[in-house]
Amino acid sequence: MKAFLLRLALLLAAAVAPAAVAADLSFSIGAIAGAGFAARDLTLHWGERGMDGEVGEIRIFGKTWRNVRLVCPVFHADLAAISCDRGELQAADKLPLSFTYWAARHRLEARLFPASGETWRIGASQADNAWEAKVDLANANPARLAGWFPVDWPRPAGGRLEGTVSFSAAGLTGDLRLRALAFSDAAGLRAGDKLSGRLLVSAVPRGGEWRWTADVGWREGAVFWRPFYFPSGGQRFVGQGSIGPDGLSVTHGKLELAGVGSARVAGRWHKGALTDFELAATGLDLDGLYRLILKPWLEKGALANLDVRGSGDLRWRYRDEATRVFDVALRETSLKDRDRRFAIDGVNLRLPWEEGQENEGKLAFGGGHFFDIPFGAIQVPVKMKGWQVALPDLSLPVLDGRLTVNGFQAERRGGMWNWRFGGGVTPISMERLSAALGWPKMFGSLSGVLPAAIYDGHQVRVDGVLLVRAFDGTAVVKNLSLVEPLGRAPRLYADLDMRGLDLDLLTRTFSFGSITGRVDATVSGLELSNWQPVKFDARVASSPGDYPRQISQRAVQNISSLGGAGAGAAIQRSFLRFLDQFGYSRIGLSCVLRNGVCTMDGVEAAPHGYVIVKGGGIPAITVIGYNRYVGWDELLGRLERVIQGNVKPIVE
């Protein structure tokens, strides 16, 4: 541009003498070019009404305009200077301007007035091999710069800029203040609105690259930079580094995030990819860290909706596409799931992990609950060797019993964590367990043995069988697996075989009425999605053996309600309504769940139905069900009405 203006000045100066004689002057230039600049098909007319020039095509630093016209109604040119006052540049839009160029000093000063109250002042000069340029902005609209941004970059869409940017052969400096800035990319994945702040930057060339320092303060406004969302300002970065053909580097930096804390950072990006990174922070507010940084990465897991309290430290070193150091500490931290699935309090954790080194950390917490089941405090060492983690045998207080975990080992393979452990549950009072869960009062105790639980990064499976003792019987769980256990919709698969459950303990638990005897139950092909049944084949039937078999009238009424409407009031129209206990020989009920519908059956077939209770002894009574197909939700509703005692007798 400077070369162009210089040559144009010489041409105009040479025309001064003829101008005294001729009323009008016109001439043309085929092409002119300089560093970062090229123009062709230039024509110039200078007369009594000023100067009128046209350019067929002009290109500046890769941007091209065609059919550009410059009109200067007040124009002056002589051997000393060229000036244009109250001019207008006409291209896609009309841009008012004025400028002066001093040929001897090779200096240009221009003022652009794109809108009322908006001014862009440009000054540039060259002396020998040195050059410098300066841009002063007053109430400038940054959207005018959008066309200069790379296609895949977010582009400014509005707001205001104030300040100065200076360029020279020695480097660059800038001091800009932003007001109500808005920007976005084409996909809407990176956007900002009403941003206010300040940018101080300087850069100097050194050995083929630029050494820079920056102080970026973002005071107000919201930013979405997928997956992160910052609803307000208060962020700041101060640092230095370099930029060149090999990429961008930060040698020293300090990042401050409002509501989180500050961290020392350094790193290097090569061709858009992070190759090296270091971060060190102390005293981080874990609530802010979770909401602003961690939660977007956890949206699809069990940790997506937490209340977090506490503070922590972090040191992270990343080299050659791998983590080399990860040292984390949590102090007096609490985690509470807003969906009330779990909570843990008083967490103190230290994990000083370093690649290839053996280290020992510590885990301690003060207690919490899991689905309203409370558990107590624990403190254990954590042994680490590379990506292998081991815990000693531990015993966690749960109600009046304990949950034991034996031989816990974890290892990271192929970018995913794998772990295994064994353990069991020492007897827990069913009364205390049912009270904790808000269930009807249960009797007896619960205990179990877990041979081995294995997690492969995708699912948890039990190697062997899980043995549970409850209601004075035994339950064996086989083929147990849990897919995506930390996902939003985990899926569970299992087969259950329960033997010798005490009916008296079961029925007393749910105020079902009195039944003495024992039952066996099998559930094969059980499938749960997000803890809701999707598919299973279930059957409950009397256990073999010799034992008392009695059923109360209330239990008869409740059982009959599960089988659906039938011979509705028979028990009240006969002498049976005066009896409270009846004998039976067999009890049985089955449900095959598919597509939300239970196909039901009993101990044997009956006309138009199935037998649920087969009478035996004196007096005896038989209960028949008549509904073969029952919606799962309807069956749950019947059970709920039974438990609440709001059922009507359906007996034959």
For residue 178, count CB atoms less than 10 angstroms from its CB and return exposed for 0-12, middle for 13-18, buried for 19 or more.
buried
Angle at 355 between CA 352 and CA 360, to 5 degrees: 35
Most confident of 129-133, 499-503, 571-575: 499-503
Whether residue 89 contacts residue 68, with contact meaning beta carbons closer than 8 Å, is answered with: yes
Chain position carrying tokens 């091999």: 129
Chain mean pLDDT for the chain: 84
pLDDT digit string, tens, across residues 445-463: 778 788 888 988 788 888 8
pLDDT at 486: 66
b/e per residue 530-554 (b: at least 16 CB within 10 A): eeebbebbbbbbbbeeeeebbbbbb
pLDDT at 252: 95
pLDDT at 552 over 90: no
Write down the domain spans for the chain.
Answer: 387-470, 485-644
pLDDT tier at 643 (50, 70, 90 boundaries)? low
d(CA 571, CA 34): 108
Whether residue 278 contacts residue 317, with contact meaning beta carbons closer than 8 Å, is answered with: yes
Interacting residues of 129 by C-beta distance below 8 A, sequence separation 6+: 169
pLDDT digit string, tens, across residues 61-117: 677 888 889 899 998 888 888 888 998 988 878 889 998 988 888 888 999 999 989
pLDDT tier at 292 (50, 70, 90 boundaries)? very high
234 vs 562: which has the higher pLDDT: 234
pLDDT at 532 over 60: yes
* Cα–Cα distance list, 4 to 11, 61, 78, 90, 205 (Å): 11, 15, 16, 19, 26
Write out the H or E segment, with its range, that includes residue 432. helix 430-437
Q: Where are the beta strands (DSSP E) in 399-503?
A: 401-413, 416-429, 445-455, 459-462, 466-470, 473-483, 491-502
Q: Three-state SS for 531?
A: coil
pLDDT at 150 over 80: no
pLDDT at 169: 84
d(CA 593, CA 600): 9
A 10 A CB-CB count for 102 gives 16
pLDDT digit string, tens, across residues 376-392: 999 999 999 988 999 99
pLDDT tier at 29 (50, 70, 90 boundaries)? confident
